[in-house]
């Protein structure tokens, strides 16, 4: 398995130019984390929200990676084509983008972004409580 930033990549999905099929992505994620029943639903929901955010607000998804950040922790990374930073949600605004980011915050232990030459990687980690 490849290692990115000290984390082991255990699944990678490149998205075609036609775009992401949310249902297929949810099934792909569920299959890859089936051995982690305590995390499976949270990881699937978190990836779904990251993908939806990238598709609707950041120019589309390029690649999705699932990584083992540490024992009992899964990191989801979604590459998009946007060069601008992710704006942290403001609770007074109930726009779709804000709601997605609030859901991401609630589902994970930490999240952020990493700029790349051709876009941005949004990432979030889920850990067994």
Q: How many domains does the chain have?
A: 1
CATH of residue 10's domain is: 3.30.565.10
User: Structure pTM?
Assistant: 0.86
Which pLDDT tens digit goes with each residue over 116-129? 999 999 999 998 76
- pLDDT value at residue 26: 94
User: Whole domain around residue 49: which residue ranges?
Assistant: 3-127
- pLDDT value at residue 21: 87
- The band of 20, judged by pLDDT with boundaries at 50, 70 and 90, is confident
Residue 13: pLDDT over 80: yes
- Alpha helix stretches (DSSP H) within 20-95: 22-32, 40-57
């Amino acid at each position: 398995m490849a290692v990115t930033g000290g984390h082991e990549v255990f699944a990678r999905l490149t998205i075609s130019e036609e775009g992401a099929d949310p249902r297929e992505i949810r099934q792909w994620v569920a299959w890859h984390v089936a051995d982690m029943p305590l995390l499976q639903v949270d990881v699937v929901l978190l990836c779904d929200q990251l993908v939806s955010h990238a598709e609707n607000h950041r120019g589309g998804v390029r690649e999705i990676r699932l990584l083992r950040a540490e024992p009992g922790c899964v990191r989801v990374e979604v590459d998009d084509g946007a060069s601008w930073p992710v704006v942290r949600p403001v609770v007074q605004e109930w726009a779709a983008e804000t709601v997605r980011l609030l859901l991401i915050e609630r589902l994970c232990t930490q999240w952020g972004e990493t700029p790349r030459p051709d876009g941005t990687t949004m990432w979030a980690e889920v850990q067994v409580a």
